[in-house]
Amino acid sequence: MDLDQATSDGLDWPVVREALAGAARTPMCAEALRTGGPLAHPLDAEVLFDAVDEVRGLESGGAFLPVGGVGDARVEARRAARGEVLEGPELARAGQSLTALHQLARMLDRHAHDAPTLARYAAEIIDDPDVREELAVAFDATGGLSALRYPVLGALRARIADLHDEIRATLERMLRDEGLADVLQDRFWTQRENRYVLPIKAHAKRMDYGIVHGTSGSGQTVFVEPHAVLSLNNRLRLAEGELRAEEYRILASLSRMLGAAAPAVERGVDAAIAIDQACAREHLARQLGATRPVVGRDGVVRLARGRHPVLTLRGVAVVGSDLGLDSARPGLVISGPNAGGKTVALKTIGLAALLVRHGCYVPAEAGSRVDWFDDVRAVIGDQQTVEGDLSSFSAHLVALDAIVRAAGPGSLVLLDELASGTDPAQGAAIGQALIERLVAVGARVVVTTHFGPLKRLSSVDARFGAAAVQSIDGRPTYAVVSGVSGESHAFGIAQRIGLDPAIIARATELVGAGERSVSATLEQLEGERARWQAEADGAARLRADLVRREAALAHAEAAIAQGARKLEFEAAQAFLQRVRQAEKAIKEILSALRAEASEREAELALASVAALRGVVPARPAPAADEAPVEVEVGDRVRLREYDLVGEVIAVGEGGIRVRAGPVTVQTRPEQLERLPRR
């Protein structure tokens, strides 16, 4: 039995792995994630966690990592290193990949301070500018070798084009020649054996119009290369041969350059894959609403509101549960009704451990802890095999025996419905003996069960904790409650699915009065506990909502105060604008007075200035961090609230008077900024 594969399938790990691979931005990274195994050491996970943090920090700030443009140039580089001459499109793709690698390395070099882990990956990208730049200019927009970079190609292509034009023009003249009308099968030209030909009637093939290059299927038409274009066709073939030879020479040279750079290309693409893996993990973390866990080596699992990742990926509104294991309680027994969430809780713990072993965040609240486990083993579902001639229970025991033999410190063992395929009393006894052995050798164990002795194990053995999937009025809430055992609610489930009431009544009689009473009491207590927990959760939500409302109110009050200060400032600015307009009008009056003096007009102008000075509005209060300055008469100052520059003309207990142009303002020291004297 392949326990690794059974564990992976039982925990639905392939679904999570495929989601991770689907988040990759390059095909080679997706393939690496699909086929790669777990990490070798917890420090490797921490490095990947750092890389994920850096991806999130960079891209949330608008610095998108251009890793998607990197292609797998390793394939072309390896072939070129073996001496193969690559085709143009292959070299062009390799060149695009080298350019993308260069851009990625430059981008991460600029952000090395904010993303040191990613920058270390990118440091493996060794740029060879000669190869990169040559491949970048070697091809045109169509993917062919560039005539701009290789002028000889342009000359050959032009000569070939001219020859094509000359041959076609000659053939067009022949088609219009009435002297050939009787021998032409049709008025068109075509090509046979890469030579230009005309369709001639079969009876005229002996008239020596040229060289025959084939016949039609009916035999009524022969395709003749006329003597008039024979020399042109030969020149065309020679020119095309020269072009192919020159293109081959260039492609061979480019291939040698790429082959020489093959080791650097390998390292660069590997570095890009490592960066892309960090991007994929960050994307998966966002999909799962996952957080970075604390990782140790003490076998501790402490999931706060942990959620099953596969259900989360499917868009199911998963009920988060608090789940835990540690050295004081290395075993956890989860009980409760069928379809209530026991297996989901067990898988959540197992998948969290696998996610950490693959350097991924876990779908739980911040502060959760999932320690590093050297191996994770799970027995979930039916292991019955026809090939091995094993019944369900026998196969179950074979798997359990293999796990017990291999388990030790650093092992996480997950057993769903332990020993349930046989007599309940004997199955419970075997199950208890087995999990006692597992915790004794240092493993961490999570078990789901309906067996009473296993459910009560936490009350007689301090090494085991208990948890139950919650049920209210016989219906599961899918939440897990720690520290309690759960009833199976078999009769309630039977009633809910519509089992014959007579069968349920008979089963109730068979259980016995004492057991019925205990079961009923436990179910009642479980319901009361669930209702109390629901009320407590509701009160907690109300408290949290009140805190949020208070914070929002404080924020709104601050915004209102800020808005009021802004309005005061805008009003002052508007007033100053009116003052400046008045100044302009007064200057015009004074100019007129100088030209033609009038005492009455001068008095009116002075009265207008005095009136303007007397209506300056109250200044807004200064900001708390604006300290008052000491000024003297004659100092140049800036009035902060009006952004005006003026001169201090008086300092007294009533304040400071500042002349700003034609306006005199009374203000306070904290509203001033002293400027250097001229």
Residue 495's pLDDT band (cuts 50, 70, 90): low
Considering only residues 91 and 500, tell me which one the structure prediction assigns the higher pLDDT: 91
pLDDT at 596: 54
Please provide residue 411's backbone torsions phi and psi, each rounded to the nearest 5 degrees: -100, 140
The vertex-674 CA angle with 670 and 678, nearest 5°, equals 160
The pLDDT tens digits for 403-424 are: 999 999 999 999 998 877 677 8
The mean per-residue pLDDT over the stretch 516-531 comes to 50
Q: Which CA distances in Å does 410 have to 323, 371, 418, 629? A: 18, 9, 21, 68
The mean per-residue pLDDT over the stretch 62-74 comes to 94
pLDDT at 534: 59
The vertex-162 CA angle with 156 and 168, nearest 5°, equals 135
Residue with tokens 């009787």: 182
pLDDT at 318: 84
Residue with tokens 């004297």: 677
Model confidence at 625: pLDDT above 70 = no
Are 281 and 44 a contacting pair, CB within 8 Å? no
Model confidence at 516: pLDDT above 50 = no
d(CA 223, CA 196): 9
d(CA 430, CA 382): 18
- Cα-Cα-Cα-Cα dihedral sign, residues 260, 264, 269, 272: negative
Residue 595's pLDDT band (cuts 50, 70, 90): low
* Residue closest to 305 by CA, chosen among 288, 321, 325: 321
pLDDT at 598: 53
The CATH architecture one would assign to domain 622-678 is Roll (2.30)
**375-392: b or e for each residue (b if 16 or more CB lie within 10 Å)?**
bbbbbbeebeeeeeebee
Model confidence at 499: pLDDT above 80 = no
Residue 588's pLDDT band (cuts 50, 70, 90): low
pLDDT at 552: 78
The interaxial angle of helices 13-22 and 262-288, nearest 10 deg, is 120
Model confidence at 566: pLDDT above 80 = no
The mean per-residue pLDDT over the stretch 541-557 comes to 77
The mean per-residue pLDDT over the stretch 603-630 comes to 55
Beta pairing partners, 370: 301
Are 364 and 468 a contacting pair, CB within 8 Å? no
Residue 469's pLDDT band (cuts 50, 70, 90): confident
pLDDT at 498: 63
Residue 383's pLDDT band (cuts 50, 70, 90): very low
d(CA 576, CA 478): 68
Average pLDDT, the chain: 84
Global pTM reads 0.69
d(CA 118, CA 109): 9
d(CA 453, CA 66): 58
**What is the separation, in whole angstroms, between the first and last Cα of the chain?**
92
DSSP conformation class of 368: -
664 exposure class (CB count in 10 Å sphere: 0-12, 13-18, 19+):
middle
CATH of domain 151-253: 1.10.1420.10
Q: Which CA distances in Å does 69 have to 28, 48, 61, 119, 397? A: 12, 22, 20, 18, 51
Beta pairing partners, 388: none
The pLDDT tens digits for 168-203 are: 999 999 898 887 888 888 888 999 888 999 999 888
Please provide residue 295's backbone torsions phi and psi, each rounded to the nearest 5 degrees: -125, 125
Are 416 and 380 a contacting pair, CB within 8 Å? yes
d(CA 562, CA 569): 11
* Residue closest to 163 by CA, chosen among 247, 230, 209: 230
d(CA 583, CA 261): 76
Tokens representing residue 660 in the block: 């700003």
* Residue closest to 197 by CA, chosen among 219, 235, 162, 229: 229
Model confidence at 508: pLDDT above 70 = no
The CA R_g of the chain, rounded to the nearest whole Å, is 43
Model confidence at 388: pLDDT above 50 = no
- The region of weakest confidence among 33-42, 464-473, 590-599 is 590-599
d(CA 443, CA 409): 5
pLDDT at 632: 87
Model confidence at 45: pLDDT above 60 = yes
Topology of domain 301-511 in CATH is Rossmann fold (3.40.50)
pLDDT at 137: 95
For 458, residues 6+ apart whose C-beta sits below 8 A from its C-beta are 333, 464, 465, 466, 485
* Residue closest to 321 by CA, chosen among 306, 336, 334: 306
**259-282: b or e for each residue (b if 16 or more CB lie within 10 Å)?**
bebbebbbbbbbbbbbbbbbbbbb
Model confidence at 103: pLDDT above 80 = yes
pLDDT at 605: 55
Residue 252's pLDDT band (cuts 50, 70, 90): very high
Topology of domain 3-128+261-288 in CATH is MutS, DNA mismatch repair protein; Chain A, domain 3 (1.10.1420)
* Residue closest to 21 by CA, chosen among 279, 270, 269: 279
d(CA 55, CA 129): 27
pLDDT at 368: 96
The pLDDT tens digits for 276-306 are: 999 999 999 999 999 999 999 999 999 999 9
